Amino acid sequence: MKKLTLALAVCATLASAAASAEVRINGFASIVAGKTLDSDATLYGYDDEISFKEESMFALQLSADLQEKLTATAQIVASGENNYDAEFEWAYLTYEFNDGLQLSAGKMRAPFYKYSDFLDVGYAYRWVRTPQSVYSLDFSTYEGLSLLHTSQLGDWDSSVQVVYGSFDDEAGGARTILDDFAGVNWSVSRDWFSARAGYFVADTSVVLSDTSELKGLVDLLSASGFGDQADSIDIDGDRGTFLALGMSVDYNNILVDAEFTKLSQDDNVLPDESQYYVSVGYRLDDTTIHFTYEDNDDSNGASDYDQLPQIPMLNAAVNGAFASMTAKSNVYTIGARYDFHPSAAFKIDLSRFKDKVSDTETDVLSVGVDLVF
């Protein structure tokens, strides 16, 4: 309730400033229902009971032109997953040096993916949800600086974004800290083709809860005099790198999207993660049909842990910690989007998730309406 009150107060404050600054308020929403088609299986937060909670959300984006090349932007999101508590997803200031160069400071979206700026705006893409094998990082924002330069390179439109900052919040069920988060994202486009490449680095720490098995194992190794082995598992200021590549085609009625990402971690239990997806679509007037294939491979490359041959139980525990981080899967999605209104689209997706480690399959059916206002 306090978050909602604060959000409404900010909206009221910005609205009251309309006399001295041009304020633009945009909204968007998604009403999504889904369920798995398999009993005793979960996927994307759904089980075999229909739920409208996991992916439904409402949001407002406010932008105030403060004159003299300065603007303020805030995005407030209330998601069903968080019981519709309103939270500030973005809140930053932007200074425009000229038509091709601007500097932003505050809480912003990290430009990891092609659709990073539109993650919450389901109306901006054809799926019910972006391909989760690739769009899998547990956080999407950071606090810091962003320098954006746009230009023409012959017949190509070019956009280069350099970012620097930090992240300190709950992610993936644990407090995650990214220090010296820095990176660059370069996008180019011409006519019906676009491509992008990004590279990011950060010093990563994860504060494990006192009740977690991994925390217990780290403490046990340290107390037993095996500090080096404990450090090989603990996630404390280790350098991580993230590479992202992507391309898109929008030619006549043919749509193609593909993205590849690779996340690497040094000296801890977290695995190296490689993911990609390829999606093709075809527009038929107001309807778009599409098919998407996703692939995910998370492995830390650790062989059998045998640095402590005199203590087989500790070896087994460490091996189990590394093995628990391994994930290999693919996803097939077929779906359709129908733009039944100038500001609203109906979508339906059927996804089949195959876990290669457990050799199991889970199907989920999702139906939703995305709108902008």
- What per-residue confidence (pLDDT) applies to 261? 98
Average pLDDT, the chain: 90
- What per-residue confidence (pLDDT) applies to 309? 56
Structural domains counted in the chain:
1
Instruction: Say what the pTM is.
Output: 0.89
Q: Where do we find the tokens 């929403």? A: 29
Specify the higher pLDDT residue, 128 or 228: 128
Q: pLDDT tens-digit profile of 272-282?
A: 999 999 999 99
- Which of 3-17, 153-167, 221-235 is least confident? 3-17
Q: What is the mean pLDDT of residues 189-218?
A: 90
Distances (CA, A) of 106 to 99, 113, 200, 341: 21, 20, 18, 35
Q: State yes or no: pLDDT of 259 exceeds 80.
A: yes
287: nearest Cα among 328, 226, 336, 325:
336
pLDDT band at 171, cuts 50/70/90?
confident
CB atoms within 10 A of CB 360: 12
- What per-residue confidence (pLDDT) applies to 306? 58
292: nearest Cα among 122, 129, 111, 116:
129
Whole-number percent of the chain with pLDDT over 70: 91
Q: State yes or no: pLDDT of 247 exceeds 90.
A: yes
Q: pLDDT tens-digit profile of 43-79?
A: 999 999 999 999 999 999 999 999 999 999 999 999 9
Q: What is the mean pLDDT of residues 94-108?
A: 97
- What per-residue confidence (pLDDT) applies to 242? 98
Q: Is the Cβ–Cβ distance between 346 and 336 less than 8 Å?
A: no
Q: What is the mean pLDDT of residues 285-310?
A: 80
Q: State yes or no: pLDDT of 337 exceeds 60.
A: yes
- What per-residue confidence (pLDDT) applies to 305? 55
H/E element, 321 = helix 312-324
Whole-number percent of the chain with pLDDT over 90: 73
pLDDT band at 3, cuts 50/70/90?
very low
What is the span of the domain harbouring residue 123? Answer: 2-372
Most confident region among 12-16, 197-201, 265-269, 326-330 by mean pLDDT:
197-201
- What per-residue confidence (pLDDT) applies to 301? 59
H/E element, 294 = strand 287-299
- CATH code where residue 194 lies: 2.40.160.10
Q: Is the Cβ–Cβ distance between 121 and 28 less than 8 Å?
A: yes
